[in-house]
């Protein structure tokens, strides 16, 4: 991401909440983390890039599996928190940390056996370019693993609207069909895909933003105005349903 416009929003939001994401149990131990890494089926000694690493949850798990890890993020505060957390862990190999734009990586072509991006793709202003860049840095036969926010197509506009009210750095979540189209356009071959649903309260969805903040109040007010069809898909019986698409794609 660039460091102007949306990029500044990303740095502002995640800089403010870096420690919140570092201590979040849902981010550190969410079921999608192990599920995605298992699906990638990576081997010790391989080279992996954790794209938009945040506080380093994916990077640490990759390192614990014996991979040589480079972790990149746009936000300096996130990288500082991740570096500090690394010092508290006995990892097999040190992690290389990069402050970098996901659309313009300072990495060699064909450098990595895997690129992993968890819970971040909806923040990329130019997702097709990020996928092309991910393909560039993958070796032939290398794998891209994604876990990201999604929703049924008919309720996607409503989801994106409340996500932007909650967090100005949110750009757009993608439906399953949109993901397939993006991968094909980037010359990546889909190998595996799964849609998961995690029920939670709407306060849990909102975190680390608080309900009494202006962002939280605006998001909740918009949810209260949802038509029945959207409420049935995203917030039935006062339970927020967080959809995630998990996928593995291969560079031919």
Fold of 6-152+168-199+241-250: Rossmann fold (3.40.50)
**Residue 25, token pair as written in the block:** 């149990």
Longest dimension (CA), the chain: 52
**Residue 98, token pair as written in the block:** 């990069």
Percent of the chain with pLDDT over 70: 93
d(CA 133, CA 224): 40
Query: In Å, what is the CA distance from 118 to each residue of 37, 232, 252?
Result: 10, 27, 22
What is the structure's pLDDT at 91? 95
Centre a 10 Å sphere on the Cβ of residue 151 and count the other Cβ atoms it contains. 26
**Residue 34, token pair as written in the block:** 């192990």
CB 143 within 8 A of CB 191: yes
pLDDT digits over 5-59, tens only? 467 776 777 757 657 675 667 776 789 999 999 999 999 999 999 999 999 999 9
Locate the domains of the chain by residue range. 6-152+168-199+241-250
Lowest mean pLDDT among 15-19, 169-173, 196-200: 15-19
3-state SS assignment for residue 244: strand
If we measure between CA atoms, which residue out of 39, 218, 2, 213 comes closest to residue 118?
A: 39
Q: 12 — phi, psi (to 5°)?
A: -65, -50
pLDDT digits over 124-165, tens only? 999 999 999 999 999 999 999 999 999 999 999 999 999 999
d(CA 151, CA 173): 8
Percent of the chain with pLDDT over 90: 88
Mean pLDDT (whole number) for 86-95: 94
């Amino acid at each position: 991401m660039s460091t102007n416009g949306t990029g500044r929003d990303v740095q502002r939001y995640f800089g403010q909440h870096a420690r919140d994401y570092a201590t979040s149990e849902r981010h550190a131990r969410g079921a999608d983390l192990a599920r995605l890494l298992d699906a990638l089926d990576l081997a010790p000694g391989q080279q992996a890039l954790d794209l938009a690493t945040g506080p380093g949850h994916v990077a640490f798990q990759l390192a614990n599996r014996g991979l040589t890890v480079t972790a990149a993020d746009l936000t300096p505060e996130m990288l500082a928190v991740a570096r500090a957390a690394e010092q508290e862990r006995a990892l097999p190999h040190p992690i290389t940390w990069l402050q970098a734009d996901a659309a313009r990586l300072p990495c060699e072509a064909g450098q990595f056996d895997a690129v992993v991006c968890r819970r971040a793709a909806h923040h990329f202003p130019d997702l097709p370019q990020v996928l092309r860049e991910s393909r560039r840095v993958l070796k032939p036969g290398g794998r891209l693993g994604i876990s990201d926010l999604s929703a049924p197509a008919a309720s996607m506009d409503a989801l994106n609207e409340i996500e932007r009210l909650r967090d100005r750095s949110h750009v757009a979540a993608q439906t399953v069909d949109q993901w397939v189209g993006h991968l094909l356009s980037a010359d990546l071959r889909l190998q595996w895909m799964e849609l998961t649903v995690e029920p939670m309260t709407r306060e849990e969805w909102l975190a680390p933003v608080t309900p009494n903040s202006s962002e939280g109040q605006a998001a909740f007010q918009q949810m209260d105005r949802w038509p029945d069809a959207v409420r049935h898909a995203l917030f039935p019986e006062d339970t927020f349903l967080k959809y995630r698409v998990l996928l593995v794609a291969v560079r031919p």
